[in-house]
Amino acid sequence: MNKRIIRLAATVFMLLVIFGRLHLSFVRYFDSDEMSHMHWAWLVAKGNIPYRDFFFYNLPGYQYLISWPFLLPPSSSILILTRIWQLVMYLGAAVLLHRIARKLTRSTLTALLSVVIFLTFPMTFDKTIDIRPDISMMLLYMLAVDIVINNTKWNSWRLIAVGLCVAASVFITLKTVIFALPALAYLYLTHKPSPTVKQILITLAGLVIPAVIFILFLALTGALPNAITMVTRDGFAVSAGKSPFSPWGGLGSPFPKFFSTGVPPLRPLPGSPPAAGS
């Protein structure tokens, strides 16, 4: 089949998927996690300081990122607007994936196929439609990757931008993205031309300066002691009851974990009558 026809078919298919995701942004139910994120974003938009004015056990970058709709007059449409903002970040990640895949494979067709898989992969469904920090975290991480691999010559602004993107990605949610940082470090250090010691220090400055500013902000507002306690001890306490992720449970057939409700089936009490139809 002609490659041009394949590209056209892939493009049309992606547009259909995008419009389908937009429709879901309007009609999909809101779960408790989404309401929690929006409640925290509303508190931030009203001028409350995380850790000091309300309990929070993660890093609050995502709440600041989605807080701007809550500056508008109160309305139920803010919920949909926040979901559309989430969709925009999702599409931004798809664009970056296309650029990265095309650069690494030197094939537009492979890049399109990568985006098709990304847009339709079922494990990302809840994370891409719902209001959650995963996509924005990945968007910033992929932006750092894109800056690294799509440059033939380093300059100070690009070096600082890599550090800022990594810092912002960590600021979105600390506990997930740290597992992807070694891969980014490998791409960065093996890039041609390889960065010099001075260039590495400039990148680290872009990474550390936002963290220093955030710590100073917490210290000046009196939230730093609570932040340390909530992000460390309280964060582990909140997640203690969650079961660990299993690749087999997530991807194993015939019933992958992401299609289940997570609730074990009820067992009849001893001596109880059989269920109807059994």
Tell me: the pLDDT tens digits for 156-194?
888 999 999 999 999 987 777 888 889 999 989 888 888
pLDDT tens digits for 79-112? 999 999 999 999 999 999 999 999 989 888 889 9
Residues in CB range of 269: below 8 A, 6 or more apart: none
pLDDT over 90 for what percent of the chain?
A: 43
pLDDT value, residue 176 = 78
Asked whether the bond before 195 is cis by omega within 30 degrees of 0, the reply is no
pLDDT value, residue 28 = 86
pLDDT tens digits for 147-166? 998 877 888 888 999 999 99
pTM over 0.85: no
Nearest to 87 by CA among 124, 59, 122, 114: 124
Q: What CA–CA distance (Å, rounded) separates 123 from 258? A: 6
Nearest to 230 by CA among 61, 62, 50, 64: 50
Q: What CA–CA distance (Å, rounded) separates 174 from 192? A: 29
Q: What CA–CA distance (Å, rounded) separates 45 from 57? A: 18
At 264, is the pLDDT very low, low, confident or very high (cuts 50, 70, 90)?
Answer: very low
Which structure tokens are listed for 190? 């093996």
Q: Give backbone dihedrals phi and psi of 54, rounded to 5 degrees, phi first.
A: -155, 155
Top pLDDT among 6 and 78 is at: 78
Residue 17 scores a pLDDT above 60: yes
At 241, is the pLDDT very low, low, confident or very high (cuts 50, 70, 90)?
Answer: low
Q: What CA–CA distance (Å, rounded) separates 52 from 49? A: 6
The rounded mean pLDDT for the chain is 83
Query: Left, alpha or beta for 126 (phi > 0: left; psi -120 to 50: alpha)?
Result: alpha
Residue 124 scores a pLDDT above 70: no
Q: What CA–CA distance (Å, rounded) separates 29 from 140? A: 27
Which structure tokens are listed for 98? 């296309």
Residues in CB range of 115: below 8 A, 6 or more apart: 10, 14, 94, 97, 98, 101
